Amino acid sequence: MTQRLTIRRPDDWHLHLRDGLMLAGVLPETARHFARAIIMPNLVPPVVTGAAAAAYRDRILAALPEGMEFRPLMTLYLTEETDPDDVAAAHQSGLVTAVKLYPAGATTNSASGVTDFDKVRPVLERMAEIGLPLCIHGEVTMPEVDIFDREKVFIETVLDPLRQRTPGLKVTLEHVTTADGIDYVAGEAGDIAGTITAHHLMIDRNHILVGGIKPHYYCLPVAKRRRHRDALRRAAISGNPRFFLGTDSAPHSDEAKESACGCAGCFTATNTMACLAHVFEEEGALDRLEGFASLHGPARYGLPPNAGTITLVKEDAPVPYPDKIATGAGPVTVFDPGHPLYWRVA
């Protein structure tokens, strides 16, 4: 018995598209299902100014295959030198949807991120004034803090003080991976939301480390214990509009992943919707999938939901997904949840 579920076309509120040959290779994987995505600015060099964001947007649109429709929602990479006036102008013109905060050194291409949060205070204050959201990679980077604790410590020592000092700042805590992050977003007063990836709803840290090291499950923030994964699932299916999808699909070539020092990032663009349908069905919450993938995000960002729809079909037999997609920058391994998927987008 095939089962069908039609929902508004989804959006991705956290996506890495890279540039050049990699961009050309991965963009169709997202544009096939998603109407819009918040585009991460962690290129080398990062997208710091409005002018750079406009040029990057144009390269994305130029890479979009004929006949595909997709709207990139651009972000600026916050540095200690970011000019509040440039940010305000980029917002005013409709070019940028958010500013991205990477603590310096937290993840891939984050060397230009923030070390001294006082230095970015004028930008944050201006953003609060004009209603421009701040998307945050929520991990501290001090070597003495265990990598599995970095999100929790960030919330306590950086995020909460920053929000107290900047009332009115709209914050998205991105790719939440802990019960602590979920509790913070759900329990706080004020303007905060949290994105959750498809892969963090499926894997825990055992997937990375048991039975041999699995580099394609390594991403940042790193997957935590099973109880944290379960807290993410409860939040995703809760119907709470503060939680919505940000895939953090982060392509790296196999050569870069399968290395003695492999890059962080899971590439999920190809099968995100199948993974989500699988999880929401397992949780008996298919009726909440549309809110999570297609409604809460636009409401948060003050945009209308997409006019179009997609239909998810559940087959009797497993749906084959490619192991890899070929790009001009090398093969990129597609996220494998470790069990068959029966859902596909019609």
Active-site positions read 248
How many residues form the binding site for ligand NCD (CB under 6 A)? 12
Among 248, 268, 310, 337, binds Zn ion (CB under 5 A): 248
Task: Give the 3-state secondary structure of residue 14.
Answer: strand
Query: Which window, 107-115, 143-151, 153-161, 208-216, contacts ligand NCD (CB under 6 A)?
Result: 107-115
Determine, following the binding rule CB under 5 A, whether residue 151 of this chain makes contact with Zn ion: no
Cβ-based neighbours of 50, under 8 Å, separated by 6 or more: 76, 86, 87, 89, 90, 93, 95, 96
Helix and strand counts by DSSP (H, E) for the chain:
14, 13
Query: Which window, 43-51, 128-136, 242-250, 276-284, contacts Zn ion (CB under 5 A)?
Result: 242-250
Determine, following the binding rule CB under 6 A, whether residue 265 of this chain makes contact with ligand NCD: yes
Supply the minimum distance, in Å, between the C-beta of residue 14 and ligand NCD: 7
Q: State the binding partner of 42 from ligand NCD, Zn ion, none, CB within 5 to 8 A by kind.
A: ligand NCD
Cβ-based neighbours of 99, under 8 Å, separated by 6 or more: 75, 76, 77, 78, 82, 87, 123, 127, 132, 133, 134, 135
Q: Which tokens hold the place of 340?
A: 């068959």
Query: Which window, 3-11, 91-99, 197-205, 246-254, contacts Zn ion (CB under 5 A)?
Result: 246-254
Tell me whether residue 19 or residue 230 sits nearer to ligand NCD (CB atom). 19
Determine, following the binding rule CB under 6 A, whether residue 294 of this chain makes contact with ligand NCD: no
- Per the CB < 8 A criterion, the answer to whether 274 and 343 are in contact is yes
- Per residue in 230-265, is it b (16+ CB within 10 Å) or e — as a string? ebbbbbbbbebebbbbbbbbbbbbeebbeeeebbbb
Q: State the binding partner of 139 from ligand NCD, Zn ion, none, CB within 5 to 8 A by kind.
A: none
Q: State the binding partner of 306 from Zn ion, ligand NCD, none, CB within 5 to 8 A by kind.
A: none
β-pairing, 332-333 with 324-325?
A: antiparallel
In angstroms, the Cα distances linking 100 to 78, 113, 278, 310 are: 6, 9, 30, 29
Binding track, positions 115-154, relative to ligand NCD; x by CB under 6 A: ----------------------x-----------------
Binding track, positions 10-29, relative to ligand NCD; x by CB under 6 A: ------x-------------
- Interface with ligand NCD by CB under 6 A: which residues? 16, 42, 107-109, 137, 219-220, 248, 250, 264-265
